[in-house]
Structure 1
């Protein structure tokens, strides 16, 4: 499938219309994630089912704290031609029902992920988590190891669960205060530039702002608590499956050194992607799609039947 680069320089009304037109190829869907039908998960999917081989595993993509399912559109385009690819809106994002706890744990998000995959009939998959999505992915891996053929973490956030209570409170309360002061649009204006490297073009910057401006305050606040509560390194140390970690060379939010320490906790290989920042899969989609595809293929070659 041929992929065109994002040809928008600023998040104007015209830019938003262009983004939404591109996303229309992968329309937003909603699935129930519990037996009672009270819990919903919003997601986008690429699946050319007539063209898929029976031995390909589904690929599930989890976004970070300031993003959503729409941020993965370039991976849906490039990877969806050969396998089923799904990107969810985390609980409290998009059309997804928030988790119940005001200050949730990673296990709360992992349970929601399991329920959603059950609804979709996905017994086993390759799971990719970006930033805060890596925390959710790690918790799912520990609770459901038999359901994962591989766990790929991109610029993972480690969480502050192993830190002092004072540091946890500082990190949590600073972010919550910024949310209260600025709102989602203000956050996008203030923080979106930090997500990318100096090499990112205007189109990538517009795409990051577009996604960040659409986060929902309640879901973002819950995710902020999750970040303060989580300890990804502990989950990775407990998981015995296939793991790989990657980070952008110019990532200033989860720097390569911090990501490498998480890889060490998992006894996993670590890769640095040149010329990429925190949201590298947006600004360098070809490199990240190739990385994800190679990981999926390796997981399929190693899985036991």
Structure 2
């Protein structure tokens, strides 16, 4: 793939960028400690807060958010070190560090109650936040990453850290997006979904991604699940990143059935936003 083709493959049509700005605009929110968190927001009503995965960003939620905007206030963050959000101080931040930033964001936005949605690596932050923040009344984990922090996963942890950082060093952000983004969707994905997944990954920041790799390697979702609370666990039926068998274990430990999103890979909310929006609408209704 030459540079021109690679660059073209990682852009969005002007019409899509205009739709993003109009339907799901971004703004920076000052939080305690002098940090900034970039968020995108639309709609009014009960609040849904959406956390993206390691290779994505707030904009990835646009289609799901648009489907919910008439019934809910949808807020999606760029995690610390993503978009224009201030990175965390530690080179290897913990789930609790990300959760503390999320809590500060809820404070700054005046959110008193919400449904919290965590996709992939975002599920690790979401679960940690739900352990201590009573404003989170329901938790939805979509294709949750379990992490490699458990003692028995030491060999896998070292391999994942080495491979992910080597890929970043070798290819850079743009090259990584061109090479890896396709794994996040199924073979049935539309061109629209593929475009959005590539574009979001191409906008990663080097420092924020390296910190997120450390979170992925050191976290243990199964050991950090919150006490009993309303939880739903969903997974793309065709997910090859966090496959249904792995997500089934998360659901089992939460005491709920795993809900499969048909015809969807890992980024199920990008590939099948109608199905994920329906799940979140049900979660809002309780």
What's the offset of the Cα at 1:12? 6.4
CA distance in 2 between counterparts of 1:251 and 1:270 reads 13
1:21 counterpart = 2:23: no
What's the offset of the Cα at 1:296? 1.6
SS at 1:271 equivalent: strand
Q: Which moved more, 1:186-195 or 1:19-28?
A: 19-28
Q: Which residue of 1 aligns with 2:79?
A: 90
TM-score, normalisation: structure 1: 0.88
Query: Of the candidates 53, 56, 62, which is equivalent to residue 73 of structure 1?
Result: 62
Deviations along 1:140-197, whole A, 9 cap, x unmatched?
Answer: 01122x2111000000000011134332122112101111111111111111110001
Q: Which residue of 2 aligns with 1:171?
A: 160
Unaligned runs of 5+ in 1: 1-9, 299-305
CA distance in 1 between counterparts of 2:10 and 2:136 reads 40
**Is the 8 Å Cα contact of residues 233 and 266 (structure 1) preserved in structure 2?**
no
> What is the RMSD computed on CA atoms of the aligned residues?
1.3
- Please list, as runs of the form range in 1=range in 2, the aligned pairs for 1:96-115 lying within 5 A after superposition: 96-115=85-104
CA distance in 1 between counterparts of 2:99 and 2:236 reads 26
Query: Of the candidates 237, 243, 251, which is equivalent to residue 263 of structure 1?
Result: 251
Query: Of the candidates 206, 213, 217, which is equivalent to residue 228 of structure 1?
Result: 217
1:152 counterpart = 2:150: no
TM-score, normalisation: structure 2: 0.93
- Please list, as runs of the form range in 1=range in 2, the aligned pairs for 1:118-197 lying within 5 A after superposition: 118-144=107-133, 146-162=134-150, 163-197=152-186
- Please list, as runs of the form range in 1=range in 2, the aligned pairs for 1:178-257 lying within 5 A after superposition: 178-236=167-225, 238-257=226-245
CA distance in 2 between counterparts of 1:24 and 1:287 reads 24
